[in-house]
Every structure is written in structure tokens, then in C-alpha cells.
Amino acid sequence: MDDELIISFYGDDFTGSTDVMESLSLNGIPAALFLQAPEPGDIQNFRLKNNAVSEDGKLKAFGVAGISRSLKPAEMDEELPSLFEKISLVPSRYFHYKICSTFDSSPETGNIGHAVEIALRYFPSSFIPLIVGIPFLNRFCVFGNLFARVEDITYRIDRHPTMSKHPVTPMHEADLRVHLGLQTNQNIDLIDVTQLKDEKTRSKRYAEVSKKGGYILFDVLLTSDLRLIGKVIEEGHRSSPQLLVGSSGVEYALAHYLQEAGKIKSSAIPTSTKRASHYMIVAGSCSPTTAQQIEHGKNIGYHAIRVDTLGLLENAQLEIERCTAACLDVLRNGGVPILLSAMGPDDPCITRTRDAYSARGKTNDNLGPLLARSQGKILKNVIDNFGKLRVTVAGGDTSGFVSQTLGISALEVLIPIAPGAPLCMVHASDSRYDGMEISLKGGQNGNSRYFESVHLGKAM
């Protein structure tokens, strides 16, 4: 594997893509996440900045941050083929279509089966291993049914307090064979926990179902199960690139086995770095977890600067200028600004802003991107006037728009902070942003001290 890229991937949302890059980098497979599909020469010439990830700076994996989780099938037909074609021009042993570990999808939105059909044109594979469970993130698959833990309670996914009520793709079925079966005509087989434990049974079952074609879903109850899955996939590898589908459990499975087999070394990435001299938070998420993180930040002296979302609808430029000035004032006085648009899902400003936006004849589908773009512009203005900062961005849409606004071409891991939300280093052609340190987190990632942990440069 010395001269071979082990895996390439496409993430179906932005923060989930960061999760994959982290899982690779922390497990001995140097990786970078690109915002646009790179050319083959871009991969060959790319060099990581963090020597702890790779001594020679060369990549063994790369990925592209995508948006297919929010797309309808017709939109996937427009978005995915050119991306997959470009990724396929860079040879790798595996290609991973990365999905969320909660599997939230539907025939109408984020259709996994449809996206995989497109992927098969560019990564032809006679069968498709599917790994969803990842105990590290409190996701478990048992006898084909998906479970997710919240604090000390493990819920079947169709009874999960959040995912069963997802506003776009609520999970009403826990059996992933049934749920995925609504999105594909492909055969779906299962290797369950009882079959997985015994090597002969596991290998025999894998050989049998791989001949039938279609999806091979693996149960995952324990972290050790991932290593067994990695072993059976690697030993059953037939031709490159093998298409894989699933959560970042795919990367943990392969990396854990390859380490055990002596084909890669474990990572030497440290768990801490220096405290940031200048730090700013951009919170576009409305999740309860982000609200707790904002509250903790305020309690330790960070300065909350709320975007007047109604004012933004009236005069966007004026509100952007006001917020920029407020953030600069805090930074110049040695403080930490938290630029926020809402405090949790029940913040009254959410309903007021939606109503005001609708009254202008606009659809609420465009409201989130409008707010996210505005926060991205504010952050850019702050950096252009103040200089480089360490930054945390909370919220998937906001993370994507901030990255676009700053012209970020790629990211690499600096240190882990919380699972799925590392502190990263920026690659950009503009020297104002190149080398900047940034964490891009989903709304639910991390505990209440996440912002503080990024500030201090310490893993949680």
C-alpha cells in the first residue's frame, strides 16, 4: 500500500465529511477534505501542513464535502455525476459514499439508493458493503435494526426523540433493510452479530452474499466488530475501487484492521495545541446542544453578539456592518465574540423571522442559506480587518457557506476536540486565510464546553 491511495470519499453533508477526514487521520491514514473535487495533479502535489499526520506530507486518502443529503433525486442527477467522475480519475483502493450514522433519508430527499446507483457508474462494484453502526458515536446496528444513544438511553432509531421527528427525513423504520428497500431495487443482505463473531461463518456468509450482488449490511454492536468487518472486506477485496457505503464506521473498520495487519501505523496526532491568542465563534445552529455551548461561553466571559435577523431582512448590508464592528470591538479589547443567530430551537426569533420572510413572498428553504451567507460575510470582514483568528463555526449549512466565503480549498486535522468535530488547518490560495485554524461542527457535536476546548486547544 506504499504508493496506493487507500480510500477516497464523498460526504453527503459538510460536517459529516469532516468526521470522515478525522476518522482517517486519527487512525494512521493521512487525509484531506476538499471543498471541490480535485484534479489528479492536485492530489499528487498536495502536502499536509501537520507533520504529526504525515511525515512526508503525502496523502493516503482524500474526500470531497458534499450536499446530497439535502437533495432530491433529480437534483442528485445534476450534482453528483460530474463530482463522482472527477473523484474516479484519482485511483484508490476503495471509494466511500459517506452517509449519516442515523441513516436519515427518504425516497424524496437524500435518497441513498439513488445516489449509489449514480456512484456505481463511476465505481463499478458487483456488491456493496454497508456499514452504519459506529459505537464510538453511540450508533449500533443489531439484527439489521439501527439504534442511537442519547446520554444514558439507547433508542431504536424510529423512537429516537430527534430522528423520529426530523423535519425533512423522519425515521419511521428501524430495520435498515426495509428503510433502504424503499430507495433501491438492489438486493439487501445482512451479516448479523451472531455470524460476525465466528471467522469461518463470517467468511462463508460474506462469500455467499457477495455472489448475489447488491448491498451487504453489517451489524455493529461493539467497536471490536468494526475490526472484524474491516478484515472480511479487505480479504474479500476483488478489484479497485470497491464501492463502500455507510458512516465513518467504514474508515474505522478498515483502519483498525490494517493497523492490526501491520499495513499502516497508528497515528501520532497530539490531543492538544497552544491556546488561541485570538478566537471567535460563529453559531448558525439552532440545536439545543449549541445553545448550551453558547450559554457556557457567556458564563466564562465570552461576548454574545446576536444577529438581528429581522434587521438583516430589511437591510442586510447595514446589519452585516453592525455585527462586524461589534465583533472587532470585542477582539480589539482582548475578548471572544460569539456571533449567533438563535439560542436553541425554541428561540422566538426563529418564528418571527420565518413569518417576516414569508410575508415578503419568499420560501423558507432560502432563509437558512441567507443567514449562513451573512454570517460568513461578517467573519470574512472581521478577519480582513483584524487578521487571522482561530474560529469555531457551529452548524452544517453555516460551515459550508463560511468555507465558501473564505475561499477554503481544503482542510486537514490539527487535533481532535470532540468526535466528528476536530480542530482543522485551512488550505487556501489567499494568504489571509491559508494556515488558519478552524473547527466546523454539526449542531449536536460536543458537550457544553466545546467552544472553550477549541479556545484552549485541548481535546475534550
Q: Are 280 and 331 in contact (CB under 8 A)?
A: yes
Q: What is the pTM of this model?
A: 0.92
Distance CA 444, CA 378 (A): 23
User: What tens digit of pLDDT does each residue of 8-39 get?
Assistant: 999 998 888 999 999 999 999 999 999 999 99
User: What tens digit of pLDDT does each residue of 209-259 get?
Assistant: 999 999 999 999 999 999 999 999 999 998 899 999 999 999 999 999 999
Q: What is the pLDDT of residue 127?
A: 97
Distance CA 355, CA 365 (A): 13
Pinpoint the residues of the chain covered by CATH 3.40.980.20. Answer: 279-456
Residue 292: phi and psi, rounded to 5, are -65, -35
Q: What is the pLDDT of residue 153?
A: 95
Pinpoint the residues of the chain covered by CATH 3.40.50.10840. Answer: 7-260
Distance CA 420, CA 100 (A): 11
Determine if the peptide bond prior to 288 is cis (ω within 30°).
no
HEC profile of the chain: CCCCCCEEEEECCHHHHHHHHHHHHCCCCCEEEECCCCCHHHHHHCCCCCCCCCCCCCCCEEEEECCHHHCCHHHHHHHHHHHHHHHHCCCCCEEEEECCCCCCCCCCCCCHHHHHHHHHHHCCCCEEEEECCEHHHCEEEECCEEEEEECCEEEEHHHCCCHHHCCCCCCCCCEHHHHHHCCCCCCEEEECHHHHHCHHHHHHHHHHHHHHCEEEEECECCHHHHHHHHHHHHHCCCCCCEEEEECCHHHHHHHHHHHHCCCCCCCCCCCECCCCCCEEEEECCCCHHHHHHHHHHHHCCCEEEECCHHHHHHCHHHHHHHHHHHHHHHHHCCCCEEEECCCCCCCHHHHHHHHHHHHCCCCHHHHHHHHHHHHHHHHHHHHHHHCCCEEEEECHHHHHHHHHHCCEEEEEEEEEEECCEEEEEEEECCCCCCCCEEEEECCCCCCCCHHHHHHHCECC
Q: Domain 7-260 belongs to what topology?
A: Rossmann fold (3.40.50)
In 3D, which of 16, 56, 45, 52 has the Cα closest to residue 33?
A: 16
Q: What is the pLDDT of residue 1?
A: 53
In 3D, which of 15, 23, 364 has the Cα closest to residue 223?
A: 23
Q: What is the pLDDT of residue 365?
A: 65
Distance CA 330, CA 382 (A): 11
List, for the chain, all residue ranges whose pLDDT scores fall below the cut of 70. 1-3, 363-365
Q: What is the pLDDT of residue 391?
A: 98
Instruction: Please give the CATH superfamily to which domain 279-456 belongs.
Output: Four-carbon acid sugar kinase, nucleotide binding domain (3.40.980.20)
Q: What is the pLDDT of residue 450?
A: 98
